[in-house]
Amino acid sequence: MCGIVGIVRRRVGVARDLVKSLKKLEYRGYDSAGIALLSNGKIEVIKGVGTIDKVVGNLEGIGDGYAGIGHTRWATHGGVSPENAHPHLSCHGEVAVVHNGTLDDFEEMRSELMEKGHELKSETDTEVVAHLIEENLKDRDPFNAFVEAIRRLRGSYAIVSMMAGERALFLARNKSPLVIGLGDDGNYCASDVAALLHLTRRFIFLEDGEIAVLTPSKVEIWRFADGRLERVDRKADVIDWSPQLLDRGSFEHFMLKEIYEQPHVLKKIAESVDYYRKFSTKLDRMLEDGSLTIVAAGTSYHAGLIGKFLLSKLAGVRSEVLIASEFPEWSSHIKEGDVILAISQSGETADVLEAVRMARTKGARVISIVNVPGSTLTRMSDESVFIQAGPEVGVAATKTFTAQVAVLYVISSVMSGGNPSRELLKISDMLYGSMETFEHFAREVSDLFKEKEHVFFLGRGINYPTALEGALKLKEISYIHAEGYPAGEYKHGPLALIERGTPTVMLVPIDENLRRKALYNLMEVRSRGALTVTLQPEGADMPGDESLEVACTEELLSPLAYAVPLQLMAYRTAVLLGRNPDKPRNLAKSVTVE
Ligand code: G6P
């Protein structure tokens, strides 16, 4: 995935802003980091293994420059080592490159360059780009040297390069996100807008196959058309996210802050029903001519499953839900006129974008539910709607999950002529008033989970996907093995795993008929010695070693009510075990590789 950033200014003094921007991108990867600064015509690089803080510290003893590029890494080609950290330099240190993505055929280019006498120091695919540019500089100007290097590349890339003596940044994009920020005393670029909000709110989103050159006063964009370069004119978009949204404030972690933001986000969605009504009407019309397939990854996939349930229950709409990375193998039936509903927080997940590309080639229409404005998915879709959750920094999705579910609820409800606003506001109020109780409960439960190897989450109906999400949250940030299961299916296999003391979380249905069945399932695990934790509606009185009453009376909204204590349970367990929930090992928030 990796995060990349670049700044070019009229005056020297980019280092601090560069590092500040880079830190906003740490959620994309954090195994190594580095920056390159250009001053007095020369490039200086500081890079290494570990977080940005560890590598560049407080910048003491580090020079400054009028241009700089930075990188925070999530390793793909080449292990985690100082040599493999970006930026990469050419032999004579005159070209520096940062890259997000993966390049095909780089071994071949590497051998070719070595035959020409280049010395490559790392195992990465990225390093070849610096040497390719250097090779081209022998008989070309910097711009053409860069263009020719990019012309050779296959695969996915967002690349930013600096060359000694050039007060400019050279950018190229194919299938990895890259946005340009327009400033008054300089220009910027980064993997996403969040990195640049402290510098500007005006952005241009590069498209696949485009190249750009940024100087302190100019932004020029080109596109390859039939192998030739042509200039592109692009207007800037203004993004109204405030930089304060990216501050942790007094919260210990972003994840906790984002959990606490949920009542507010749900309120905002409840107050925007008219905005979602327009989208819902378009979707309804599109479905007159084709079938509906929901596509998503990770937590968004769980929201998609809940969406399928809501569309079916409330609007009588039939749909299927496919995991984005599996879409190519499972979608032979998709045909012209069908509708793909892509759900993605970032709008940049490579698996989702690839599924959408493929569906488009078959003539399907694409609509999307997204959080990040201007993201690639929105530009690949016929229609997009935003969940309005604001930037989410914690790697584990929290507020964007409940926002996706709430938007799917609103869309399904208005399709059937319902008025979802009142019910959604009730849930938002309930959450506002319950956070303290949920916190207390989460702490008790985390004490119970902390020494366990496995935890199971069971749900029925609409809360089967909520159980999957509860398990995902716990495993991804606490590293305790967790599995979500439909409560009724559990006895067909996984019940064999229950031993004395195995924690099992039951999401108790509100519907009485379903609840009766859930009670049988609960008794099945309790009688085998499981420690049971129940989240249940008020007055349900289900047996549990730990029980939380949640004041929700609407089965269809119960995923919103249950998700919040589940997130807190995962969060408190991770903290108790000394894990950093904002930076779980091996994971990144925005996964831009397939
Ligand atoms: C990554 C993140 C998950 C997220 C998934 C899909 O794996 O760690 O939290 O749910 O990507 O991301 P998207 O941005 O498409 O919703």
Q: Is residue 544 within 6 Å of ligand 1 at its C-beta?
A: no
Among the ranges given (216-225, 237-246, 356-365), the one the predictor scored with the smallest mean pLDDT: 237-246
Task: Read off the pLDDT of residues 502-511 as tens digits, 9 standing for 90 and up.
Answer: 999 999 999 9
Q: Give Cα separations from 476 to 155, 391, 479 (angstroms).
A: 29, 20, 6
Same domain, 403 and 491: no
Do 79 and 55 lie in one domain? The reply is: yes
Please give the pLDDT value at position 57: 79
In this predicted structure, what is the pLDDT of residue 74? 78
Q: What angle do CA 95, 218, 149 make, to 5 degrees?
A: 30
pLDDT above 90 for 285: yes
In this prediction, residues 548-569 reach a mean pLDDT of: 96
Identity at 493, one-letter amino acid code: G
The structural domain count of the chain equals: 3
Could you tell me if residue 231 is inside a domain?
A: yes
Domain boundary among 245, 265, 289: 245
Mean pLDDT of 452-473: 97
Most confident of the ranges 59-73, 242-256, 458-472: 458-472
Catalytic residues: 2, 589
Q: How far apart are CA 591 and CA 568, in angstroms?
A: 24
Q: What is the mean pLDDT of residues 513-527?
A: 92
Q: What are phi and psi of 384, to 5 degrees?
A: -135, 150
Q: Could you tell me the pTM of the whole model? A: 0.85
The answer to whether position 592 is within a domain reads no
Residue 424 lies in a domain: no
Starting at the edge strand that comes first in sequence, how are the strands of the sheet with 365-370 ordered?
Answer: 319-323, 292-296, 339-344, 365-370, 383-386
Mean pLDDT on 454-461: 96
Nearest to 27 by CA among 589, 482, 592, 591: 589
How close is the Cα of 280 to the center of ligand 1, in Å?
24
Backbone angles phi, psi at 280, to 5 degrees: -60, -40
| pLDDT recorded at residue 80 | 79
Q: Which helix (H) or strand (E) is 35 found in, with range? A: strand 32-39
Comparing 120 with 73, the larger pLDDT belongs to 120
Q: What is residue 25's predicted lDDT score, i.e. its pLDDT? A: 87
In a domain, 267, yes or no: yes
CA–CA gap between residue 253 and residue 23 (Å, rounded):
14
CATH number for position 198 = 3.60.20.10
Confidence band, pLDDT 50/70/90 cuts, at residue 53: confident
Domain boundary pick from 218, 245, 272: 245
- Tell me if 591 is assigned to some domain: no
What pLDDT is recorded for position 187?
A: 98
471: domain CATH number is 3.40.50.10490
Region 215-235: mean pLDDT is 92
Residue 258 and residue 294 in one domain:
yes
pLDDT at 387 over 80: yes
| Cα–Cα separations (whole angstroms), residue 567 to 74, 203, 472, 540 | 25, 33, 10, 22
In a domain, 586, yes or no: no
Mean pLDDT of 451-469: 97
Residues 114 and 145 in one domain: yes
Higher-confidence residue of 470 and 543: namely 470
Which residue has the CA at smallest separation from atom 4 of ligand 1? 298
pLDDT of residue 106: 87
Q: How far is the CA of 397 from the centre of ligand 1 (A)?
A: 7
Dihedral angle sign, alpha carbons of residues 479, 484, 487, 491: negative
Residues 84, 18 within the same domain: yes
pLDDT for 456 beyond 90 = yes
Q: Is the pLDDT of residue 61 over 80?
A: no
Kindly list the distances between the CA atom of residue 25 and the CA atoms of 215, 237, 509, 592, in Å, as whole numbers in the listed order: 23, 21, 39, 13
Q: Do both 322 and 282 map to the same domain?
A: yes
In whole angstroms, give the CA distance from residue 365 to residue 361. 10
Residue 163 pLDDT more than 90? yes
Label residue 14 by pLDDT band (50, 70, 90). very high
Q: Over the stretch 304-344, which tens digit does the pLDDT of each residue have?
A: 999 999 999 999 999 999 999 999 999 999 999 999 999 99
Ligand 1 contact, 298 CB (< 6 A): yes
In this prediction, residue 70 has a pLDDT band, given cuts at 50, 70 and 90, of very high
Q: Which domain holds residue 205?
A: 3-245
pLDDT of residue 363: 96
- Does a structural domain hold residue 35? yes
pLDDT confidence band for 370 (50 / 70 / 90): very high
Q: What is the mean pLDDT of residues 269-282?
A: 96
Domain end marker among 245, 262, 291: 245
Print the SS3 string covering 351-394. Answer: HHHHHHHHHHHCCCEEEEEECCCCCHHHHHCCEEEECCCCCCCC
Q: How far is the CA of 587 from the centre of ligand 1 (A)?
A: 10
Q: Is the domain of 391 the same as that of 512?
A: no
Reduced to 3 states, what is the DSSP secondary structure of residue 583? coil
- Say what percent of the chain tops pLDDT 70: 99
Is pLDDT at 54 greater than 90 in this prediction? Answer: no
Identify the pLDDT of residue 8: 97
Residue 27 confidence (pLDDT) above 80: no
119 and 163 co-located in one domain:
yes
Q: What value does the mean pLDDT take over residues 561-566?
A: 98
The pLDDT score that the predictor gives to residue 73 is: 82
Mean model confidence pLDDT for the chain? 93
Answer yes or no: do 477 and 559 share one domain.
Answer: yes
Are residues 437 and 553 located together in one domain of the fold?
A: yes
Q: Is 585 part of a structural domain of the chain? A: no
Ligand 1 centroid from CA 592, angstroms: 10
| Ligand 1 atom nearest residue 400's Cα | 16
pLDDT of 226: 82
Residues 225 and 262 both lie in one domain: no
| CB of 591 shorter than 6 A to ligand 1 | yes
Give me the pLDDT at residue 338, please.
97
| Contact 177 CB / ligand 1 (< 6 Å) | no
Residue 591: pLDDT over 80 = no
Peptide bond into 503 cis (omega under 30): no
Across 19-33, 268-282, 487-501, the highest mean pLDDT is recorded for 268-282
Is the predicted pLDDT of residue 391 greater than 80, yes or no? yes
Task: Report pLDDT for 81.
Answer: 84
472 C-beta closer than 6 A to ligand 1: no
Let me know how many helices (H) and strands (E) the chain has, helices first. 17, 25
Do 241 and 377 belong to one domain?
no
